[in-house]
């Protein structure tokens, strides 16, 4: 996955693919390609969210340690 | 030369005393006078001074008398000092209640029974109002009056969000200074402060210049003070007049660092309070104000922190949910699309498998049909042709020369050639006649038109 990708970009792309698939306007020729890309993006987004959440929780915990 | 026996001095003083007593003995008088030559012995609570009256025009003395205050007079003076903020001292104009006394040794004296605080308060207030009016009048660029409030440059300065570096102008011996430091250093929240002391004398109008110098020292220190705190108080509730000084009021109004006052007095706000950024009642309250100010900053920060935590959690929840929905959509829809296409493909496949058979079957059918048609029609055809042929055979048989000859017809030959044209034959020609199975030779003897009906069959 691209290193410069941002969550917003990834999510936008994902939503676009989802819309395409939802409206069934996607051609079967590229369906697998699209789903693979979507799967990559979802994994990437989830990882990004989890790591960010963990990081934020850590920071919050640190904040709580020093009232 | 006197003729009478001389009196002893004590006899004279006794006579004066008696005379004065008779006239003034139990009477008291309210008088207005200025105080001068004042001394005070705190151990005996005893005031000694002169009361004088000056000619307003020439300022020369027109009356002077010794006075003393002790007992209830001294108590009244103490109350006066508390109420007015004015120390009982030289060069003040007072309204006092006096009795006239004569002492054989100390002479004529006035004893102070009471001092009227309101009289002095009125004077002071008039003076204070005059000073305020002058401040507004002479310094329009940094002092103005809006309604009952004074808006000064100092008041319009924004306090830093956190107050940490503090310059304190105070008396070194002031209990107020100790109160301030104690409150500041023992705050509940363990905030740390850097406090620089600028000690001066903060009482007595005459020390205004020294006070001003210290304020200028703060300015010249080039340190980034968050606030300047002016405190006094704790001790005797007297001598606040320095804070009604014109120059001090002006300096405070103009000062570029917010000034907090904690002057610790009971009467109306001093001019210093009115000019300062934030007036508080006491040094302790000044310190509390600073601590609370910092606390409100910390509260705001904590609130931000709380909001950040909540918002972050909400955001994560929403993002995970959105991602999950997208994921579901993609998974389900992809399956649907594939399933749809599979269906279509299956339907198509089925028709592809069955259709050719039908076509071939139909074609075979057609071919069979044609073949059977061929069979049927060809045999009919042949049969017909046969019957036609037979017909022709019989016709031909009928028309054959033999049969014709048998039926009585003869063939004429002229010069060995069969002829059917009578014009070929001339009279005298030798002709052959074939009749039945015999050839006859004859000579033409005559030729004429025939009109018989021998051939009418």
Give the ipTM. 0.71
pLDDT at residue B91, rounded to an integer: 82
Distance (Å, rounded) from C-alpha B279 to C-alpha B274? 7
Q: Does A35 touch chain B (CB under 8 A)?
A: yes
Q: What is the pLDDT of residues A42-56, one digit of tens each?
A: 888 888 888 888 887
Rounded to the nearest angstrom, the minimum Cα separation between A3 and chain B is 20
pLDDT at residue B144, rounded to an integer: 92
Rounded to the nearest angstrom, the minimum Cα separation between B331 and chain A is 8
Farthest CA pair distance, chain A: 58
Residues of B in contact with A26 (CB under 8 A): 337
pTM of the predicted model, to two decimals? 0.58
Q: What is the pLDDT of residues B171-200, one digit of tens each?
A: 887 788 888 999 999 999 999 999 999 998
Contact A18 B320 (CB under 8 A): no
Confidence of residue A2 (pLDDT cuts 50, 70, 90): low
Chains A & B: contacts with CB separation below 8 Å:
57
Contact A56 B330 (CB under 8 A): no
Q: What is the pLDDT of residues B226-241, one digit of tens each?
A: 999 998 875 444 567 7
Contact B333 A21 (CB under 8 A): yes
Q: Does A45 touch chain B (CB under 8 A)?
A: yes
What percent of chain B is modeled with pLDDT above 90? 38
pLDDT at residue B348, rounded to an integer: 75
User: Which residues, at least 6 apart from B228, have a Cβ–Cβ distance to it below 8 Å?
Assistant: B166, B167, B168, B169, B215, B218, B255, B257, B258, B259, B260
Confidence of residue A1 (pLDDT cuts 50, 70, 90): low
pLDDT at residue B204, rounded to an integer: 64
Contact A35 B329 (CB under 8 A): no
Average per-residue pLDDT for chain B: 86
What average pLDDT does this structure show over B13-31?
Answer: 89
CB B276 within 8 A of CB B150: no
């Amino acid at each position: 996955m691209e290193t410069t990708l941002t969550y917003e970009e990834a999510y936008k792309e994902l939503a676009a693919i989802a819309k395409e698939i939802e409206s069934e306007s996607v051609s079967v020729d590229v369906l697998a390609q699209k789903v693979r890309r979507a799967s990559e993006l979802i994994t990437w987004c989830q990882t990004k969210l989890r790591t960010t959440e963990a990081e934020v929780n850590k920071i919050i915990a640190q904040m709580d340690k020093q009232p | 030369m006197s003729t009478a026996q001389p009196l002893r001095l004590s006899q004279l003083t006794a006579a004066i005393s008696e005379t004065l007593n008779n006239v003034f003995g139990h009477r008291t008088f309210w008088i207005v006078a200025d105080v001068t030559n004042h001394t005070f012995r705190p151990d005996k609570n005893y005031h000694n001074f002169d009361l004088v009256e000056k000619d307003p025009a020439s300022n020369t003395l027109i009356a002077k008398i010794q006075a003393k205050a002790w007992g209830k007079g001294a108590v009244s003076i103490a109350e006066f000092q508390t109420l007015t903020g004015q120390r009982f001292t030289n060069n003040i104009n007072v309204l006092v209640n006096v009795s006239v006394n004569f002492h054989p040794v100390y002479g004529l004296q006035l004893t102070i029974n009471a001092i009227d605080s309101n009289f002095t308060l009125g004077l002071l207030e008039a003076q204070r109002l005059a000073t305020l009016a002058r401040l507004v009048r002479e310094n329009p660029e940094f002092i103005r009056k809006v309604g009952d409030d004074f808006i000064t440059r100092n008041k319009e300065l924004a306090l830093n969000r956190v107050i940490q570096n503090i310059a304190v102008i105070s008396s070194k011996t002031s209990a107020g200074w100790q109160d301030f430091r104690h409150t500041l250093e023992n705050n509940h929240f363990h905030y740390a402060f850097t406090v620089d002391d600028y000690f001066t004398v903060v009482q007595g109008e005459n020390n205004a210049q020294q006070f001003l110098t210290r304020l200028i020292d703060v300015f010249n220190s080039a340190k980034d003070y968050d606030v300047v705190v002016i405190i006094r108080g704790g001790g005797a509730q007297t001598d606040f007049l320095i804070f009604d000084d014109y120059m001090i009021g002006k300096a405070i109004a103009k000062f570029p660092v917010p000034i907090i006052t904690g002057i610790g007095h009971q009467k109306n706000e001093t001019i210093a309070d009115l000019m300062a950024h934030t007036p508080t009642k006491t040094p302790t309250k000044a310190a509390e104000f600073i601590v609370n100010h910092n606390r409100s900053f910390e509260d705001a920060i904590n609130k931000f922190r709380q909001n950040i935590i909540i918002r972050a959690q909400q955001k994560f929840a929403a993002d995970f949910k959105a991602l999950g929905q997208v994921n579901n959509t993609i998974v389900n829809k992809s399956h649907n699309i594939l399933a749809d296409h599979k269906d279509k493909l299956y339907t198509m496949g089925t028709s592809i498998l069955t259709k050719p058979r039908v076509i071939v079957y139909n074609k075979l059918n057609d071919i069979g049909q044609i073949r059977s048609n061929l069979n049927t029609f060809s045999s009919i055809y042949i049969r017909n042709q046969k019957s036609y042929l037979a017909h022709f055979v019989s016709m031909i048989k009928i028309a054959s020369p033999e049969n014709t000859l048998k039926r009585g017809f003869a063939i004429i030959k002229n010069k060995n050639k069969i002829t059917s044209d009578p014009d070929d034959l001339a009279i005298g020609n030798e002709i052959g006649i074939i009749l039945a199975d015999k050839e006859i030779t004859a000579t033409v003897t005559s030729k004429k038109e025939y009109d018989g009906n021998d051939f009418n069959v």
